[in-house]
């Protein structure tokens, strides 16, 4: 199955992925509409900053790994969190409904699950910020996490990333790309080494 | 990362955190990580087809904007607009002073006058207005009109440019087409040439930015002249610094921003309202302090304490002892009313173009300046009555600070050593190596670096290398808060050669010790005072500024105004260090021009170096290279 992989060296920290994710998980599925919605749509991935020195801030988009076995599934008492036949870990469409207990939030080693107001797809339609209160929309707090965008071929974050820092690929496909890049560096290094040896022999 | 090394800031940041008050440092953290396209200058919003971004890694993303702009063009356009923003700010300040002088000449601003007639006449002579027995009031009108004319589109070279730089610089500027067509026109020209479909050559755009920055220099020079005429040329004055200058038993009022037109009148009117303050229960009456550059204006003219810098302005409120902040324009955080809402502090805006939601607005105009100043002071006294004594938490930190070393004041001190040829002692000591060179410290505090850390590390290291230090604005404020504008700092940190020179000058000036380690030359809108000293030295030696062992640094730069000042410092021929990386790294061409090619073209160039020790090494090397060029 295809997964989200990250090339952190390409992340500029622009957070376009966060925005695209929130819009994809909104009701209107466009930026302007999403900005007016209640409850406000929530991104399911997060660009984090690691301050490594006063002069360097490393940026990294953090995404759900859809682990197997997944601690969030193991911890889910109502069995809302489950693995789909497509190998996606999600709490939508499980055996029972999510009860927002937060067990999965506690168990996720990557902090990829939020507990926030959401439109409960079966019961409410949501509303506009301008016209309604959050309560009136019938929304409730739920566990929100990456679902790999079931309505799309390529997840919204991947499509939105301007530098290609987030990659949607099979694991071996991504690893192969990494190997090719590494071998390119190594082959360049080998050329330098050979030139140095020739030079040393001449001297 | 530490947020600040200023002891009063460190203490009050803890207070703020405990009280749940959000400061600029907290808001910075919520912005992290910041967008890399903005950081590298590779984002353009100049037309409605955008925003466009260019992939800095050149992997999969776009290489051009929709219009076709390359990374080089995009970065150059963004930088040029920054320079225009800075120039517009300094020019607005300058025009304000010209209008005040004009209103005085018409008898419409009776609270103002000619405070320094000697400087008034010197400026009239310099700009070519003949006195011919005319009254000061009449002459003030002519000078104000000439000043205002500088801003409009014209064919002649601006007067404050051609009469204040070296002949060598003028020739250079003319050759390169860098004479601004009027100071506001220079801003407008940058806005035009950086809009969609005009200038698409990065180097040409950068030349446009430099032309605009030369306009910034011209307006700033003019503003300093008019400030001195209206409010007096600063002379050495002992003042104090830090938030410990707030008093428990006084109505504490901070003047904040960049404009002496208002603060001067506040200072004058405060004296007459001491009794009202005492009647309200403030046994020590009114205590005025300064924040930011309005603070420096009143510090160097009246010895008013400087409480804190722009970055830590919110912390003045967190003391619980600030009764009012009277603000004009520039560097005033929109967050002030939010912080003040947690305390009793009145935030009073005064300028029609600078209101803040949640603040009290008292519109200040020259014709009723005194009356409005009294109204503002009364609001402060009323706020004092609401102060909660249990929340007062004034940090027990104050430092002495010698301020007011304007170019004229420095020459006066030198004249005590050699009345016939005041600059000679300075030149002799540069030639004999007692002084390695001169460094102007300018610029802001920036939340991206530990407050004051780079300033303090750089100044100590450069002084140890016998570099004579001038400072303005937030640099001067930073040094003041760390006790570096004192004779004791000279004893402790200056190299032997520098110490000998500053001691001789201090004794000649009748001080009980050397001159301070750093000479407080003015507010940030006074950087031209330092340029004036460099021009005088160059003219005296018959060389150009670009040959002098003089460097500039803005180690903690933040504002667009710092970008325009830095750019004219380069145009004037100075190696100019910046300690915060500006949004230009997305363009190899722009980086190359600013840090290397500018040196061949103008003599000045940017040194971008966040690491303090490496920055010192680079600035010292630049000074030594200049000395070698002069054969000394």
Three-class SS state of B470: strand
Min mean pLDDT across A22-36, B64-78, B420-434 is at A22-36
pLDDT value at A138 more than 90 = no
Q: What share of chain A is helix, strand, coil (3-state, %, to 5)?
A: 35, 20, 45
| Residue B64 counted as domain residue | no
Backbone angles phi, psi at B489, to 5 degrees: -65, -35
Compare B136 and A35 and report the one with higher pLDDT.
B136
| Residue B37 counted as domain residue | no
Task: Note whether B32 contacts A: Cβ–Cβ < 8 A.
Answer: yes
Q: Are residues B502 and B370 in the same domain?
A: no
Buried b / exposed e across A57-92, counting CB within 10 Å, b at 16+?
Answer: bebbbebbbbbeebbbbebbeeebbbbeeeebbbbb
- Interatomic CA distance for residues A183 and A185, integer angstroms: 5
A163 and B60: CB-CB below 8 Å? yes
B36 and A13: CB-CB below 8 Å? yes
- Chain B residue with minimum CA distance to A51: B1
pLDDT value at B537 more than 90 = yes
A47 and B33: CB-CB below 8 Å? yes
Q: Are residues B225 and B259 in the same domain?
A: no
Query: Residue B569 in contact with residue B552, Cβ under 8 Å?
Result: yes
B34 and A163: CB-CB below 8 Å? no
pLDDT of residue A131: 62
pLDDT value at B353 more than 60 = yes
Task: Work out the minimum CA distance from A21 to partner chain B, whole angstroms.
Answer: 17
Q: Are residues B509 and B601 in the same domain?
A: yes
pLDDT of residue A123: 46
| Residue B4 counted as domain residue | no
Chain A positions touching chain B (beta carbons under 8 Å): 9-15, 47-49, 51, 54-55, 57, 59, 162-164
Task: Work out the minimum CA distance from A18 to partner chain B, whole angstroms.
Answer: 12
Task: Work out the minimum CA distance from B457 to partner chain A, whole angstroms.
Answer: 15
A14 and B611: CB-CB below 8 Å? no
pLDDT digits (tens, 9 = 90+) for B96-121: 999 999 999 999 999 999 999 999 99
Query: Residue B177 in contact with residue B211, Cβ under 8 Å?
Result: yes
Task: Note whether B578 contacts A: Cβ–Cβ < 8 A.
Answer: no
Residue B462: partners with Cβ closer than 8 Å, 6 or more residues away: B439, B469, B616, B619, B620
pLDDT value at B213 more than 60 = yes
A49 and B55: CB-CB below 8 Å? no
A12 and B1: CB-CB below 8 Å? no
Which of residues B354, B369, B391 is at a domain's end? B391
pLDDT of residue A31: 84
pLDDT value at B235 more than 60 = yes
Name which of B2, B5, B29, B57 to mutate to probe chain A: the one with the most chain A Cβ atoms within 10 A of its Cβ: B57
Query: Residue B327 in contact with residue B342, Cβ under 8 Å?
Result: no
Q: Which CATH number goes with the domain that contains B104?
A: 1.20.1270.30
Closest CA to B206 of B609, B605, B608: B605
Query: Residue B132 in contact with residue B261, Cβ under 8 Å?
Result: no
pLDDT of residue A122: 42
The rounded Cα B300 to chain-centroid distance in angstroms is 14
Query: Residue B86 in contact with residue B561, Cβ under 8 Å?
Result: yes
Burial of B113 (0-12, 13-18, 19+ CB in 10 A): middle
Three-class SS state of B282: coil
Which of residues B231, B263, B288 is at a domain's end? B231
Angle (nearest 5°) at CA B365 between B360 and B366: 145
Alpha-helical runs (H) found in chain A: 16-24, 31-35, 71-75, 103-107, 156-160, 171-202
- Interatomic CA distance for residues B359 and B206, integer angstroms: 39
Residue A35: partners with Cβ closer than 8 Å, 6 or more residues away: none
pLDDT of residue B181: 94
Min mean pLDDT across A176-180, B138-142, B356-360 is at A176-180
Closest CA to B265 of B307, B311, B301: B301
- C-alpha torsion sign, points A136, A140, A144, A147: negative
pLDDT of residue A198: 84
Q: Are residues B368 and B446 in the same domain?
A: no
- Interatomic CA distance for residues A186 and A194, integer angstroms: 12
pLDDT of residue A40: 84
Query: Which run of H or E residues covers position B26?
Result: helix B24-31
Residue B155: partners with Cβ closer than 8 Å, 6 or more residues away: B181
Three-class SS state of B434: coil
In chain B, what residues touch A49 (CB-CB under 8 Å)? 32-33
Task: Note whether B57 contacts A: Cβ–Cβ < 8 A.
Answer: yes
A54 and B449: CB-CB below 8 Å? yes
Query: Residue B538 in contact with residue B547, Cβ under 8 Å?
Result: yes
Question: Which among A14, A48, A164 has CB closest to B37?
Answer: A14
Residue B461: partners with Cβ closer than 8 Å, 6 or more residues away: B612, B613, B616
Min mean pLDDT across A112-121, B276-285, B462-471 is at A112-121
Task: Note whether B60 contacts A: Cβ–Cβ < 8 A.
Answer: yes
pLDDT of residue B620: 98
Query: Residue B557 in contact with residue B578, Cβ under 8 Å?
Result: yes
| Residue B32 counted as domain residue | no
In chain A, what residues touch B37 (CB-CB under 8 Å)? 12, 14, 162
pLDDT of residue A126: 56
A163 and B1: CB-CB below 8 Å? no
Query: Residue A4 in contact with residue A146, Cβ under 8 Å?
Result: yes
| Full domain range(s) for residue B208 | 71-231
- Interatomic CA distance for residues A66 and A88, integer angstroms: 6
Query: What average pLDDT does the segment B213-233 reach?
Result: 98
Task: Work out the minimum CA distance from A52 to partner chain B, whole angstroms.
Answer: 9
Which of residues B337, B363, B391 is at a domain's end? B391
Compare A157 and A140 and report the one with higher pLDDT.
A157
Q: Are residues B385 and B412 in the same domain?
A: no
pLDDT value at B58 more than 80 = no
Q: Are residues B91 and B226 in the same domain?
A: yes
Task: Work out the minimum CA distance from B580 to partner chain A, whole angstroms.
Answer: 9
- In this prediction, the answer to ipTM > 0.85 reads no
Closest CA to B319 of B4, B7, B9: B9
Task: Note whether B433 contacts A: Cβ–Cβ < 8 A.
Answer: no
Closest CA to B301 of B355, B227, B358, B373: B227
Name the percent of chain B lying above pLDDT 70: 100
- Interatomic CA distance for residues A82 and A57, integer angstroms: 36
In chain A, what residues touch B612 (CB-CB under 8 Å)? none
Question: Which among A55, A59, A163 has CB closest to B33?
Answer: A59
Closest CA to B518 of B431, B572, B456, B607: B456
In chain A, what residues touch B33 (CB-CB under 8 Å)? 13, 15, 47-49, 57, 59
Q: Are residues B111 and B78 in the same domain?
A: yes
The rounded Cα B334 to chain-centroid distance in angstroms is 20
pLDDT value at B250 more than 90 = yes
pLDDT band at A57 (very low <50, low <70, confident <90, very high): confident
- Interatomic CA distance for residues B271 and B266, integer angstroms: 9
- Chain A residue with minimum CA distance to B586: A12
In chain B, what residues touch A48 (CB-CB under 8 Å)? 33
Buried b / exposed e across B554-574, counting CB within 10 Å, b at 16+?
Answer: bbbbbbbbbbbbbbbbbbbbb
- Interatomic CA distance for residues B216 and A77, integer angstroms: 67
Q: Which CATH number goes with the domain that contains B309?
A: 3.40.50.2030
B37 and A48: CB-CB below 8 Å? no
B308: left (phi over 0), alpha (psi -120 to 50) or beta: beta
Kindly report the average pLDDT of chain B as a whole number. Answer: 96
pLDDT value at A119 more than 80 = no
Closest CA to B323 of B356, B277, B276, B357: B277
Query: What average pLDDT does the segment B142-169 reach?
Result: 97
In chain A the first and final C-alpha atoms are separated, in Å, by 55
- Chain B residue with minimum CA distance to A54: B1
pLDDT value at A124 more than 50 = no
Number of domains in chain A: 1
pLDDT digits (tens, 9 = 90+) for A142-153: 999 999 999 999
Q: Are residues B191 and B266 in the same domain?
A: no
- Interatomic CA distance for residues B617 and B622, integer angstroms: 9
Query: Which run of H or E residues covers position B417?
Result: helix B407-417
- C-alpha torsion sign, points A119, A122, A123, A125: positive
Compare B61 and B373 and report the one with higher pLDDT.
B373
Query: What average pLDDT does the segment B265-275 reach?
Result: 96
pLDDT digits (tens, 9 = 90+) for B437-458: 999 999 999 999 999 999 999 9
Number of domains in chain B: 3
| Residue B54 counted as domain residue | no
Alpha-helical runs (H) found in B304-365: 313-318, 336-340
pLDDT of residue A130: 58
Residue A168: partners with Cβ closer than 8 Å, 6 or more residues away: A2, A3, A4, A5, A154, A155, A158
Closest CA to A164 of A74, A61, A55, A56: A61
Q: Are residues B356 and B470 in the same domain?
A: no
Backbone angles phi, psi at B362, to 5 degrees: -120, 105
Q: Is the peptide bond before A69 cis (omega within 30 degrees of 0)?
A: yes
Three-class SS state of A139: coil
In chain B, what residues touch A55 (CB-CB under 8 Å)? 610-611
pLDDT value at A190 more than 90 = no
| Full domain range(s) for residue A179 | 2-202
pLDDT band at B587 (very low <50, low <70, confident <90, very high): very high
Name which of B30, B33, B42 to mutate to probe chain A: the one with the most chain A Cβ atoms within 10 A of its Cβ: B33
Task: Work out the minimum CA distance from B596 to partner chain A, whole angstroms.
Answer: 23
């Amino acid at each position: 199955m295809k997964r989200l992989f990250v090339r952190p060296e390409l992340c500029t920290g622009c957070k376009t992925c966060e925005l695209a994710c929130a819009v994809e998980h909104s009701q209107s599925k466009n930026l302007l509409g999403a900005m007016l919605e209640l409850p406000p749509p929530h991104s399911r991935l997060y660009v984090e900053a690691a301050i490594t020195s006063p002069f360097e801030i490393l940026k990294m988009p953090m995404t759900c790994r859809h682990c197997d076995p997944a601690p969030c599934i193991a911890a889910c008492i109502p069995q809302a969190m489950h693995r789909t036949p497509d190998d996606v870990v999600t709490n939508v469409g499980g055996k029972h409904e999510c009860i927002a207990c937060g067990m999965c939030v506690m168990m996720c080693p990557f902090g990829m699950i939020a507990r926030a107001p959401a439109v409960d797809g079966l019961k409410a339609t949501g509303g506009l910020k301008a016209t309604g209160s959050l309560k009136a929309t019938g929304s409730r707090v739920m566990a929100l996490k990456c679902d790999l965008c079931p309505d799309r071929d390529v997840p919204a974050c991947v499509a939105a990333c301007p530098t290609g820092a987030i990659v949607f690929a099979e694991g071996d496909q991504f690893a192969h790309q990494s190997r090719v890049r590494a071998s390119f560096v190594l082959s360049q290094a080998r050329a330098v080494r050979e030139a140095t040896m020739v030079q040393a022999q001449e001297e | 990362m530490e947020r600040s090394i200023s002891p009063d800031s460190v203490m009050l940041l803890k207070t703020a955190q405990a009280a749940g008050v959000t400061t600029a440092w907290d808001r910075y953290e919520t912005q992290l990580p910041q967008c890399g396209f903005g950081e590298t200058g590779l984002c353009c919003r100049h037309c409605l087809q955008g925003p466009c971004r260019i992939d800095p890694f050149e992997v999969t993303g776009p290489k051009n904007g929709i219009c076709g702009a390359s990374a080089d063009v995009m970065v150059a356009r963004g930088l040029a607009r920054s320079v225009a923003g800075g120039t517009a700010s300094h020019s607005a300040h300058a025009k304000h002073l010209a209008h005040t002088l004009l209103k005085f000449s018409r008898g419409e601003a009776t609270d103002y006058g000619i405070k320094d007639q000697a400087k008034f006449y010197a400026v009239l002579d310099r700009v070519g207005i003949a006195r011919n027995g005319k009254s000061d009031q009449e002459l003030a009108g002519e000078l104000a009109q000439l000043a205002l004319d500088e801003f409009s589109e014209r064919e002649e070279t601006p007067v404050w440019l051609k009469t204040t730089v070296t002949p060598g610089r003028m020739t250079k500027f003319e050759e390169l087409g860098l004479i601004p067509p009027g100071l506001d026109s220079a801003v407008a020209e940058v806005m035009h040439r950086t809009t969609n479909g005009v200038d698409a050559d990065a180097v040409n755009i950068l030349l446009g930015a430099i032309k605009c920055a030369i306009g910034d220099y011209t307006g700033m020079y003019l503003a300093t002249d008019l400030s001195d005429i209206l409010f007096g040329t600063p002379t050495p004055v002992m003042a104090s610094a830090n938030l410990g200058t707030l008093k428990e038993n006084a109505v504490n009022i901070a003047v904040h921003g960049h404009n002496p037109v208002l603060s001067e009148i506040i200072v004058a009117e405060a004296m007459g309202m001491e009794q009202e303050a005492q009647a309200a229960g403030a046994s020590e009456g009114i205590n005025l302090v300064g924040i930011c550059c309005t603070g420096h204006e009143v510090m160097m003219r009246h010895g008013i304490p400087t409480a804190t810098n722009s970055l830590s302005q919110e912390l003045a409120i967190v003391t619980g002892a600030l009764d009012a902040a009277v603000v004009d324009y520039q560097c005033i955080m929109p967050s002030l009313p939010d912080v003040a809402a947690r305390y009793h502090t009145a935030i009073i805006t005064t300028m029609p173009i600078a209101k803040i939601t949640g603040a009290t607005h008292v519109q200040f105009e020259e014709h009723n300046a005194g009356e409005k100043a009294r109204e503002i002071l009364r609001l402060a006294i009323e706020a004092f009555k609401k102060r909660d004594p249990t929340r007062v938490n004034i940090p027990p930190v104050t430092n002495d600070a010698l301020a007011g070393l304007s170019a004229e004041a420095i020459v006066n001190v030198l004249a005590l050593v050699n009345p016939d040829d005041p600059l000679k002692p300075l030149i002799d000591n540069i030639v004999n190596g007692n002084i390695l060179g001169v460094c102007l410290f300018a610029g802001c505090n920036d939340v991206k670096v530990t407050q004051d850390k780079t300033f303090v590390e750089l100044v100590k290291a450069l002084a140890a290398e016998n570099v004579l230090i001038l400072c303005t604005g937030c640099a001067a404020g930073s040094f003041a808060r760390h006790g570096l504008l004192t004779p004791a700092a000279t004893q402790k940190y200056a190299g032997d050669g520098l110490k000998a020179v500053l001691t001789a000058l201090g004794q000649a000036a009748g001080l009980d010790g050397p001159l301070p380690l750093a000479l407080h030359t003015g507010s940030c809108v006074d950087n031209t005072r330092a340029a004036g000293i460099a021009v005088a030295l160059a003219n005296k030696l018959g060389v150009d500024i670009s040959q002098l062992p003089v460097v500039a640094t803005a180690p903690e730069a933040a504002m667009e105004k710092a970008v325009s000042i830095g750019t004219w410092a380069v145009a004037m021929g100075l190696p100019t260090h910046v300690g915060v990386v500006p949004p230009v790294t997305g363009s190899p061409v722009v980086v190359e021009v600013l840090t290397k090619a500018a040196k061949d073209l103008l003599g000045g160039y940017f040194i971008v170096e966040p690491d303090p020790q490496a920055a010192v090494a680079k600035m010292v090397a630049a000074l030594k290279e200049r000395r070698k060029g002069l054969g000394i």
